[in-house]
C-alpha cells in the first residue's frame, strides 16, 4: 500500500504547512495529529456536525484562573458604576417615605434636630411638609431656619443646652396630629400632617411631616431675628452704654403689640435673664403673662438673686403676688 501523501494544508485552519514543520504556524496543531484530526473532522461532517474543536491539551483562556478573577472584578466594577448611576441619577423615592410613621416620632425628630443647632437645622427643615412650604422652597427656608435658631436659643437659655432631654411628648387628646411638647416648664404644640397619598397608604402606611410650631409661627420670622439679636447682645451686656444699645434694639414695647404673647415672652425673658439689662419696667411688662410658669420661675429667681437691683427685685415680688398697680402698668402703657 503506498504511503499517505504529505500534508500541505492544516485540516483545522486551512493554513499552509511547510515541509518539515512540526506544527501549524497559525493554530499550532501538531503535524503528527493532523491526519487523525482530518479523519475525525470528516466523520463529524458526515454526521452533520459543522466543526470539531481542537483538542490540544491546553486550558481554554476562559477557564484560566487569572481570567476568571479579572472577569469577576470587572463585573463588580460595572455593577458598582450602575448602582451609583441609579443612586444619583435614577428616579428618587417620594419625600414622604423619609418621614416618620407617627406624629409623635415626627415631632421628636424635629425637636431633636432643632436642639442640634446650626449643624442640623437643614435636617429639621427637611421635615417640614410640602403643604406648609412656599411653592419656591428658597423663599421660606431661611424663615424656618430662623424659627429653629430662635427656639433653640430660647430653650437653651432657660433650661440648658440639653433641653431635649427634658422634653416629654404626648398627642393632644382633641387632635392626635398635634403633639404637645413639655420642655421643662415650657409648652410647645407641634402641628403635624399625614403625608402618604391615599392610594399609597395600603402599600407604605402613614408618614408624618411637620406643619410648624403653634407658639412660634414662621410668619413672624423677622421678629424672631430681632429676638435672636437681643439674646446675643444680652449675653455680654454691661454698663450704661451697653444698656442704651440694648434699649435701642428692643425698641418701644407698644410697637410689639401685634406680636403673639409667646414671642413677646421670649423677648422679655431674654432681657430679664441678665441683671444688667433687667429694669423695673421690663418686670411690669410681664403682667400679661403673669400665670405663665416660665415667667413665674424667672421672677421668683430674680427675687432671690442679689445681683439684681433692689427696685427690680421689689417689682418682681409685686408681679409674682399680682400686686402691680394701675400706675405701674400705665408707666409702660399696658
What DSSP line would sit under 128-179, residue for residue?
B-GGGS-SSHHHHHHHHHHHHHHHHHHHHHHH-TTGGGGEEEEEETTEEEEE
pLDDT computed for residue 331 by the predictor = 87
pLDDT computed for residue 90 by the predictor = 54
Q: Are residues 166 and 186 in the same domain?
A: yes
Q: Are residues 66 and 48 in the same domain?
A: no
Q: Are residues 109 and 37 in the same domain?
A: no
- The dihedral through the CA atoms of 277, 281, 285, 286 has a sign that is positive
Cβ proximity of 84 and 76 under 8 Å: no
Q: Are residues 209 and 234 in the same domain?
A: no
pLDDT digits (tens, 9 = 90+) for 25-63: 877 777 788 787 787 777 777 766 544 444 445 555 555
pLDDT digits (tens, 9 = 90+) for 100-140: 999 999 999 999 999 999 999 999 999 999 989 877 655 68
Count of structural domains within the chain:
4
> By residue range, what is the domain housing residue 120?
95-216
Cβ proximity of 207 and 99 under 8 Å: yes
pLDDT computed for residue 141 by the predictor = 86
Q: Are residues 53 and 66 in the same domain?
A: no
Of 92, 109, 143, which residue constitutes the final position of a domain?
92
Residue 112: enclosing H or E segment and its boundaries? helix 103-115
Q: Are residues 105 and 88 in the same domain?
A: no
Q: Which residues of the chain carry a pLDDT beneath 50?
A: 50-56, 248-249, 251-255
CB neighbours of residue 121 within 10 Å: 20
Q: Are residues 50 and 7 in the same domain?
A: yes
Taking alpha carbons only, the member of 311, 248, 315, 327 closest to residue 284 is 315
Q: Are residues 208 and 119 in the same domain?
A: yes
Q: Are residues 248 and 266 in the same domain?
A: yes
- In angstroms, rounded to a whole number, what is the distance separating the alpha carbons of residues 98 and 7? 76
pLDDT computed for residue 52 by the predictor = 46
For 130, residues 6+ apart whose C-beta sits below 8 A from its C-beta are: 95, 195, 209
pLDDT computed for residue 97 by the predictor = 94
Q: Are residues 122 and 48 in the same domain?
A: no
Of 165, 181, 216, which residue constitutes the final position of a domain?
216
Of 216, 233, 261, which residue constitutes the final position of a domain?
216
Nine-digit cell string for 157 = 437659655
- In angstroms, rounded to a whole number, what is the distance separating the alpha carbons of residues 27 and 240? 102
pLDDT computed for residue 73 by the predictor = 67
Nine-digit cell string for 295 = 415667667
- The whole-model pTM stands at 0.69
Cβ proximity of 288 and 334 under 8 Å: yes
Strands of the 175-183 sheet, one edge to the other: 167-172, 175-183, 186-194, 208-213
CB neighbours of residue 180 within 10 Å: 16
pLDDT computed for residue 256 by the predictor = 59
Cβ proximity of 263 and 227 under 8 Å: yes
The total number of residues written for the chain in this structure: 334
- In angstroms, rounded to a whole number, what is the distance separating the alpha carbons of residues 63 and 166? 66
Q: Are residues 106 and 168 in the same domain?
A: yes
Q: Are residues 8 and 45 in the same domain?
A: yes
Amino acid at each position: 500500500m503506498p504511503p499517505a501523501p504529505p500534508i500541505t494544508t492544516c485540516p483545522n485552519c486551512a493554513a499552509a504547512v511547510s515541509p518539515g514543520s512540526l506544527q501549524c504556524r497559525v493554530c499550532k496543531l501538531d503535524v503528527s495529529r493532523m491526519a487523525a484530526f482530518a479523519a475525525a473532522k470528516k466523520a463529524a461532517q458526515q454526521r452533520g456536525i459543522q466543526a470539531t474543536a481542537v483538542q490540544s491539551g491546553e486550558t481554554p483562556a476562559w477557564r484560566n484562573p487569572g481570567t476568571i478573577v479579572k472577569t469577576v472584578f470587572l463585573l463588580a466594577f460595572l455593577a458598582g458604576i450602575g448602582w451609583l448611576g441609579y443612586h444619583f441619577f435614577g428616579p428618587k423615592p417620594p419625600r414622604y417615605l423619609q418621614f416618620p410613621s407617627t406624629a409623635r416620632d415626627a415631632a421628636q425628630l424635629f425637636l431633636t434636630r432643632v436642639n442640634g443647632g446650626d449643624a442640623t437645622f437643614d435636617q429639621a427643615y427637611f421635615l417640614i411638609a410640602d403643604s406648609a412650604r412656599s411653592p419656591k422652597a428658597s423663599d421660606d427656608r431661611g424663615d424656618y431656619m430662623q424659627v429653629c435658631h430662635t427656639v433653640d436659643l430660647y430653650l437653651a437659655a432657660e433650661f440648658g443646652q440639653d433641653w431635649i432631654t427634658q422634653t416629654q411628648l404626648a398627642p393632644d387628646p382633641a387632635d392626635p396630629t398635634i403633639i404637645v411638647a413639655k420642655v421643662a416648664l415650657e409648652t410647645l404644640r407641634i402641628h403635624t400632617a399625614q403625608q402618604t397619598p391615599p392610594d399609597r397608604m395600603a402599600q407604605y402606611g402613614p408618614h408624618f411631616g411637620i406643619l410648624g410650631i403653634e407658639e412660634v409661627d414662621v410668619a413672624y420670622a423677622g421678629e424672631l431675628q430681632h429676638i435672636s439679636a437681643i439674646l446675643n447682645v444680652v449675653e455680654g451686656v454691661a454698663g450704661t452704654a451697653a444698656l442704651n444699645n440694648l434699649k435701642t434694639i428692643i425698641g418701644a414695647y407698644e410697637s410689639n403689640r401685634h406680636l403673639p404673647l409667646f414671642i413677646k415672652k421670649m423677648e422679655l425673658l431674654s432681657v430679664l435673664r441678665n441683671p444688667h439689662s433687667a429694669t423695673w419696667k421690663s418686670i411690669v411688662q410681664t403682667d400679661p403673662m403673669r400665670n405663665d410658669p416660665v415667667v413665674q420661675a424667672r421672677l421668683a429667681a430674680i427675687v432671690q438673686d442679689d445681683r439684681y437691683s433692689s427696685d427690680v427685685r421689689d417689682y418682681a415680688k409685686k408681679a409674682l403676688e399680682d400686686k402691680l398697680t394701675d400706675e405701674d402698668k400705665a408707666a409702660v402703657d399696658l
